[in-house]
Structure 1
Amino acid sequence: MKITVINTGGTFNKRYNPLKGELEVPKDNIALDEIIESCFNIDFEIKNIISKDSLEITNEDREFLYETIKDSSNENIIIVHGTDTVDITSRFLDDKKLNKKIVLTGAMVPMSIKKVEATLNFAQAIGFLNAQIENGVYISMHGCVINHEKLSKNREIGQFLVSN
């Protein structure tokens, strides 16, 4: 199986910069590379295109993301995205009616601080794409991969929950 992974940044990728004294989104794929090195049966194509916290992603960035997906010959897409606006980007992509299987994922805690959540969310997305699923836009977070309209971030408890 071939999966195109589009890395837009987000908390998933953040690392502490000791010179600035803050977490920042790097312009590399170190977090992804660490997970992918353990996947032996998948051909990954990695595209690092935005490198922003999701609160900084604009509609122009979303349009660039859409064009990147549209131009990809692959129908299996994972997007690493920040959790704060993953719902906005999911709706944006769903409205474009792409004929692809698109799974957005991210993490509430940077992989550089705690590896489990980011790894789980990304691994779920891989497994989901290996199943017989319909084309559409999905979110992979906190033990669930589901249509983007049915998963939302509960900011009071810091978790993604399935809505009825």
Structure 2
Amino acid sequence: MMKITVINTGGTFNKRYNPIKGQLEVPKDNIALNKIIESCHNVQFDIKNIISKDSLDMTDVDRERICTEIQNSISDNIIIIHGTDTIHLTSAMIKKRIVDKKIVFTGAMVPMSIDESEATMNFSMALGFLSANPSLGTYIAMHGVVVNSSKLVKNREEGKFLIQE
């Protein structure tokens, strides 16, 4: 059975509408993730819900915490759920510091609570990629591809991630 550590840091993937405050919030739970993984019967997940922030609010202290969680993980297969606005900053830091694991960042531009398809697809791509036993490294799984983390960039004008050659 494949073992995967999932580090859930929040981001749009997890956001839910708070009717009392009238805004989307990043909750401190794994409801969005749990909905996806309940269908994964051949994977053992170790879920670490560690930050619960929009990525625009993440700091270098948060990124250090992610590094520590990866280094302390008993699994060499890591999926990091991360907000899309600063996924490039965190993945660049991880890529420089951790070279002995297979790390796949993923997230969503639309909250799973609003539309399940994008978050489910992106997480499933990350999971499938790891099940194919890729080379050690840091990757991003978004919008139909899984590539080296330095090759996928968020195009803010178009609202999607594109491969940068």
Deviation of 1:98 (Å): 3.3
> Residue 45 of structure 1 aligns with which residue?
46
Matches within 5 A, 1:22-101: 22-101=23-102
TM-score, normalised via structure 2 length: 0.98
The superposition leaves residues 115-159 of structure 1 with CA deviations (integer Å, 9 ceiling, x where unpaired) of 000000000000000113111100000000000011000000000
CA distance in structure 2 between the aligned counterparts of 1:138 and 1:18, rounded to whole angstroms: 36
Aligned residues: 164
* Other structure's SS at 2:146 match: strand
CA displacement, residues 12-51 of structure 1 (integer Å, 9 cap, x when unaligned) = 0000000000000000000000000011110111000000
CA apart distance, 1:97: 2.9
Q: Which stretches in structure 1 are left out of the alignment for 5+ residues?
A: none
> Structure 1 length normalisation: TM-score?
0.99
For 2:4, the equivalent position in structure 1 comes to 3
Residues of 2 paired with 1:60 and 1:39: CA distance?
A: 32
Q: What is the CA distance between 1:163 and its match in structure 2?
A: 1.0
Deviations 1:59-96 (A, max 9, x none): 00000110011011110000000000000000010110
1:52 and 1:137 mapped to 2: Cα distance?
A: 21
Separation in 2 of the partners of 1:53 and 1:97?
24
2:142 & 2:98 partners in 1: Cα distance? 22
Q: Is the 8 A contact 1:70 1:98 kept in 2?
A: no
Q: Which amino acid aligns with 1:154?
A: N
* In structure 1, C-alpha distance between the alignment counterparts of 2:35 and 2:115, rounded to whole Å: 13
The amino acid that maps onto 1:16 is Y
**SS of aligned partner of 2:128:** helix
Does the 8 A contact of 2:71 with 2:98 survive in 1?
Answer: no
Residue 111 (structure 2) aligns with: 110
1:19 maps to what in 2? Answer: 20
- What is the distance in 2 between the residues matched to 1:142 and 1:72? 27
Q: Secondary structure at the match of 2:21?
A: coil
Give the % identical residues.
Answer: 63
Read off the aligned partner of 2:107 and give its amino acid letter. Answer: G
Structure 1 residue matching 2:125: 3-state secondary structure: helix
**Is it true that 1:163 corresponds to 2:164 in the alignment?**
yes
3-state SS of the aligned residue for 1:99?
coil
